[in-house]
Structure 1
């Protein structure tokens, strides 16, 4: 928007100056055309073709060979909890920073999808504060509408295998994205993040692979939700929940899809909910099916629902919040609300978030990899040294309910700028 205003001021100023010189002086057609073209380019859509050959750690079961993206193996299920032999793979493409604000994204996909196979394109946007919108699927030639105006766009390709052999597998030859600006969406975000009381089950399945490519470990800490809209890339906590059980709360990243459904973003308002729009916000379809016979008592795949689960918990999270058996928990979907504090990037892997600003304090959460966190205040606590850096500053992360050493906040200052003392 800033660039647009500058160009409009330049054109307006030039016209005013020419007018002041008298009626004999006019703007040449070439100058006028160039000015109009410059304004149209700034306001118009922008297109690019992401590099499909870059397969890295946040991609799942895909490889780029002979000029196309395909599955590495054809027997990998879509989620850790999904049975069956249907192949699945996913690639998170590099984000594209744009020179103009956008809220619509269209995709032109060149792919081979034999009978039974399919490829989906999902997109999301990053705001100036570093936060991401949820993923939205681009359907056909219709542009996906993002919930707010953003300055960067990222795409995710997902491949589902067909039933055939040989050439009967999905392959992507190319992708072209076009981002532009349409009518501003009606605000749906809440001042506070959405919370719901839902039934939780233990995922277990150590050694299996989640929908984002994470291999499940003993005493693992993550959750599964029944929609890909809030699925974090592997190693990140970009979409995280705060789940509170009988003993305590824990903040954990969303790394898998389930239980029961895969298109049930029940934390969203009915107007933007992907499926089951006649259900109220905060009520999982599986819960409605189990308790009141909704959809004939079955999930979106036609399975008879055996429990009302709206979230799966990894073993470590399940035990840490105090559950001995499946049960009801309160979940806050942290990305759905406005942040109260200052946003910062972090570095490091498996960074512990502590209840108090000391390494002896109980761990309440982990930052699995570099991400962005909201800091509400900071204190002087235990003085620690990491990779040659010594600091006694600790940042309080309200979304995680604890403190992290300022060493892991990726800014040069030891005492975070603009952040008050607790």
Structure 2
């Protein structure tokens, strides 16, 4: 197009008029403004090697834009530098200067941001080569306006690119998730210990107390009594029963809490892994949309900034569902309460035996058999009471764990529904930003 005009112009030998000072001043001001841009743009070039294919394509898209923008800007500056008082060089150089591949670029960022300025400068060249000097000032003013628009667009584009690149390279979200996960697991482990430790201490203290009562009884009875005598051996058998019953109960409580810790740990890990998968999915979706031309750069950058805090809020909401310390403390407090009741019965029994032993030792007319008359029945009743209470402890803790599991499941389900609705609204806003109309909140596929 320009070559034909150039030949015609040279053949005709048209003389070029002098340019008005206003045009020269405008051109110099515009050149100065545009010359400051390359240094700013070059800072946004990405030199990081991306690990994921999508990330690599995004880096390539941005670097391609920055490179093509630089080529286009160089061409614009060369044209402005050529415009002198007599325009002697402009006719011959405008066509050559604008013979750049960038003009045919399919890079959407370049097309949206830089191409409009190049189009205006190309029209300016056409006016110059056709020697339409009377239109030059108006054309240069249009270039100046477009350059101002271009600078605004470029500044915003570079900010959006910086946001997206920072999100691609930022691992702080993952670090925060992992830190919270470790914190929760440490808390669970600590809770496990804090629940069992006082109960085990109670078991130890109570059993030591009961053994001490038995020893006091055996020391108080006459020396000619032996442990093989029915009254003494029955009490010893009862203590052996207590030892066995409490040991079994301790083991069962240990197993309960170990199982519960394992189950809750799986929930915690599932929340952490699921959260990171959601973040990965959302970011991948945004970047794919950007690469496929289905999203504007500003929309992708804006929504990327919203993802981490929104997901983190969802994440913390999920973790609130496994903060069951209060309920579990209540359940194990009941264990201590039942142990206290059991201790009262056994303490009464031991005192009865010790009282009989002291009476027999002081009064010859009393026999131990006479004094302990009915104690066998009391032993049997106490044993039944202990069996009942240990079963009560077992089932109370089991029921508490089952109920807590149901509560956690219900809580997670509720939080999930809230998250789906919340993210559906945000995704709808993202689509609206890109000019896509939806009938309502958009449900995310992974939910």
Normalised to the residue count of structure 1, the TM-score between the two structures is: 0.17
TM-score (norm 2): 0.16
More relative contact order in 1 or in 2 (CA 8 Å, sep 6+)? 2
Whose Rg is larger?
2
* Larger proportion of strand: 1
In proportion to residue count, which structure has more helix? 2
